[in-house]
């Protein structure tokens, strides 16, 4: 069988229809781009990438670099310090608008050029070149391959960078720019000139979708940094069409003037498209349309609310033990459901087995709720046997030194026994 995913994305390209708009021409080298290029890539969190069209054609990352450099600035300086330099309010302005908050002097957000230039200057590095090296290194780790700078595009943009230069000098006058304006604009322009393919962008998006961890398990961004970046992309990533985007497509995204567009469905998937003609906002015309189609077809909208508790928790009596068999990933709402099962546990000293052998992941809040529930069962007088072969509850203490874990915890009880019995009965 060939997965229908492949047919789907090919069909998407074939049916996307007429293009509109124009390739960016304010950067002379971009005006040379082949306007008919068209590509899409979808990357899953475990590393599978589906591509169609011109998926291996390189183009410059341009403004899609902004959220990534912002992430590095936060990792280097801490969020507080970055917030003192750059606000996080959607501006409703065009990407290159000369706008600063009149009260604080801060650029409105890191997705417009003023904020992105300020963010670039906040990245640590011995000098301007070292800063750019660290930035390219981060992008490469996110892309899973070594990326380089398209020197021709860089030279071309730098020769026409008067407006960005003006922004940098203006930031300097209000004390929001670290470093020399010419160095910073040069570095910022180099960051915008990093060459990528849709495959690279989809993979980067998938790392952001996974909370900052690559498919190979390398943590590239801390969870709090990742969350800040996604939040800002959701509210400011599409410039003056950000509100329209969030309602119609509904995921954090970032566009670039070379025609790239990257979107992130947190916890699910990273998507990228490429088509150089731009609409009036500077976003890829067909790119936006492909995202609208995909998000509709694939049900990817952050605000698609549904009642979904993905965990099954069953209580069974086995060999005089009360056994809670839990299956699925644990978040707050699953932990809450499990607590209701614990609450029904009669006060007494019957051993309670908590079998997490079918649970691979628990987020921090679920872990804390679970540990507190276990502590309370223990206070009620129960002996607790915790079967946690994957270590999802970590090594955190419950205040109960007698917890029995892993193999020894099993006693007379076979993990997954209930599921086995149930399938035998059905079988
Ligand atoms: N929207 C964009 O992609 C703009 C990036 C471009 N390098 C600029 O600063 O003008």
Residue 412: its pLDDT value, please?
Answer: 47
% pLDDT > 90, the chain:
62
Residue 101: its pLDDT value, please?
Answer: 85
Residue 349: its pLDDT value, please?
Answer: 84
Say yes or no to pLDDT of 426 above 70.
no
Tens-place pLDDT, residues 149-200: 999 999 999 999 999 999 999 999 999 998 999 999 999 999 999 999 999 9
Residue 387: its pLDDT value, please?
Answer: 87
**Lowest mean pLDDT segment, chosen from 36-50, 271-285, 413-427:** 413-427
Distance 164 CA to ligand 1 centre (A): 9
Q: Give the mean model confidence (pLDDT) for residues 260-289.
A: 95
CA 179 to chain centre: 30
Catalytic, 66? Answer yes
Is residue 257 part of an annotated ligand binding site? yes
Say yes or no to pLDDT of 106 above 70.
yes
Contact status, residue 132 vs residue 148, Cβ threshold 8 Å:
no
Tens-place pLDDT, residues 115-139: 999 999 999 999 999 999 999 999 9
Domain positions in the chain are 4-297, 312-426
Catalytic residue among 23, 49, 51, 66: 66
Could you tell which of 60, 93, 95 is best to mutate to test the pocket of ligand 1, judged by most ligand atoms within 8 Å of the CB?
95
Catalytic, 249? Answer no
Contact status, residue 418 vs residue 357, Cβ threshold 8 Å:
no
CA of 96, closest atom in ligand 1? 10
Residue 402: its pLDDT value, please?
Answer: 46
Long-range contacts of residues 5-14, Cβ cutoff 8 Å, at least 24 apart: 5/42, 5/50, 6/50, 6/52, 8/297, 9/40, 9/42, 9/50, 9/51, 9/52, 10/52, 12/40, 12/52, 12/290, 12/293, 12/294, 12/297, 13/38, 13/39, 13/40, 13/52, 13/53, 13/290
Residue 232's pLDDT band (boundaries 50, 70, 90)?
Answer: very high
Catalytic residue among 50, 70, 239, 413: 239
Residue 400's pLDDT band (boundaries 50, 70, 90)?
Answer: very low
Say yes or no to pLDDT of 413 above 60.
no
Q: Is CATH 3.30.750.24 correct for 312-426?
A: yes
For ligand 1, atom 10, name the residue with the nearest CA.
Answer: 96
Is residue 413 part of an annotated ligand binding site? no
Catalytic, 413? Answer no
Say yes or no to pLDDT of 403 above 70.
no
Say yes or no to pLDDT of 282 above 80.
yes
Is residue 157 part of an annotated ligand binding site? yes
Higher pLDDT among residues 310 and 234, named by residue: 234
Residue 415's pLDDT band (boundaries 50, 70, 90)?
Answer: low
Could you tell which of 192, 193, 236, 283 is best to mutate to test the pocket of ligand 1, judged by most ligand atoms within 8 Å of the CB?
192
Higher pLDDT among residues 92 and 417, named by residue: 92
Q: Give the mean model confidence (pLDDT) for residues 229-239.
A: 90
Residue 310: its pLDDT value, please?
Answer: 72
Residue 320's pLDDT band (boundaries 50, 70, 90)?
Answer: confident
Is the ipTM of this structure higher than 0.95? yes
* Closest of 202, 215, 237 to residue 67, by C-alpha: 237
Higher pLDDT among residues 414 and 382, named by residue: 382
For ligand 1, atom 4, name the residue with the nearest CA.
Answer: 63
Q: Give the mean model confidence (pLDDT) for residues 377-384.
A: 89
Could you tell which of 59, 67, 69, 96 is best to mutate to test the pocket of ligand 1, judged by most ligand atoms within 8 Å of the CB?
96
Distance 186 CA to ligand 1 centre (A): 13
In our burial notation (b when 16+ CB lie closer than 10 A, e otherwise), range 397-408 reads ebebeebbeeee
Residue 395: its pLDDT value, please?
Answer: 62
**Lowest mean pLDDT segment, chosen from 9-18, 373-382, 392-401:** 392-401
Residue 63: its pLDDT value, please?
Answer: 96
Nearest 5°: the CA angle 56, 187, 207 is: 45
Q: Give the mean model confidence (pLDDT) for residues 395-416.
A: 49
**Lowest mean pLDDT segment, chosen from 164-173, 289-298, 304-313, 333-342:** 304-313
Residue 313: its pLDDT value, please?
Answer: 84
Catalytic, 188? Answer yes
Residue 23: its pLDDT value, please?
Answer: 93
**Lowest mean pLDDT segment, chosen from 45-49, 88-92, 229-233, 405-409:** 405-409
Is residue 164 part of an annotated ligand binding site? yes
Residue 58: its pLDDT value, please?
Answer: 97
Say yes or no to pLDDT of 417 above 70.
no
CATH number of the structural domain 4-297: 3.40.710.10
Higher pLDDT among residues 142 and 300, named by residue: 142
- Predicted TM-score of the model (pTM): 0.83
Catalytic, 239? Answer yes
């Amino acid at each position: 069988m060939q997965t229908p995913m492949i047919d789907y994305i090919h069909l998407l390209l074939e049916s996307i229809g007429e293009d509109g708009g124009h390739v960016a021409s304010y950067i002379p080298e971009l005006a040379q781009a082949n306007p008919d290029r068209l590509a899409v890539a979808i990357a899953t969190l475990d590393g599978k990438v589906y591509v169609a069209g011109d998926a291996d054609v390189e183009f410059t990352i341009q403004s899609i670099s902004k959220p990534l450099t912002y992430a590095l600035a936060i990792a280097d300086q801490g969020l507080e310090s970055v917030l003192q330099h750059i606000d996080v309010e959607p501006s409703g302005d065009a990407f290159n608008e000369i706008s600063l908050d009149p009260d604080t002097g801060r650029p409105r957000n890191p997705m417009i050029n003023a904020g992105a230039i300020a963010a670039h200057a906040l990245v640590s590095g011995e000098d301007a070149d070292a800063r750019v090296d660290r930035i390219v290194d981060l992008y490469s780790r996110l892309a899973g391959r070594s990326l380089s700078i398209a020197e021709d595009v860089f030279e071309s943009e730098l020769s026409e960078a008067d407006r960005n230069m003006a922004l940098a000098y203006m930031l300097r006058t209000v004390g929001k720019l670290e470093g020399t304006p010419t160095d910073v604009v040069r570095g910022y322009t180099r960051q915008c000139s990093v060459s990528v393919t849709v495959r690279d962008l989809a993979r980067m998006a998938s790392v952001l979708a996974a909370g900052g961890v690559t498919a190979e398990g390398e943590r590239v961004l801390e969870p709090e940094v990742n969350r800040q970046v996604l939040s800002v992309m959701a509210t400011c990533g599409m410039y003056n069409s950000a509100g329209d985007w969030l309602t119609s497509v509904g995921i954090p995204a970032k566009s670039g003037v070379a025609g790239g567009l990257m979107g992130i469905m947190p916890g699910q998937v990273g998507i990228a498209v490429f088509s150089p003609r731009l609409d009036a906002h500077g976003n890829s015309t067909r790119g936006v349309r492909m995202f609208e189609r995909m998000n509709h077809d694939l049900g990817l909208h952050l605000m698609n609310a549904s009642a979904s508790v993905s965990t099954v928790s069953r209580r069974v009596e086995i060999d005089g033990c009360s056994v809670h068999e839990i299956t699925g990933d644990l978040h707050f709402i699953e932990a809450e459901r499990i607590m209701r099962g614990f609450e029904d546990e009669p006060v007494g000293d019957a051993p309670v087995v908590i079998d997490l052998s079918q649970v691979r992941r628990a987020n921090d809040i679920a872990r804390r709720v679970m540990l507190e529930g276990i502590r309370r069962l223990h206070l009620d007088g129960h002996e607790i046997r915790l079967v946690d072969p994957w270590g999802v509850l970590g090594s955190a203490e419950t205040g109960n030194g007698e917890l029995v874990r892993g193999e020894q915890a099993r006693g007379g009880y076979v993990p997954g026994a209930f599921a086995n019995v149930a399938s035998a009965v059905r079988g």
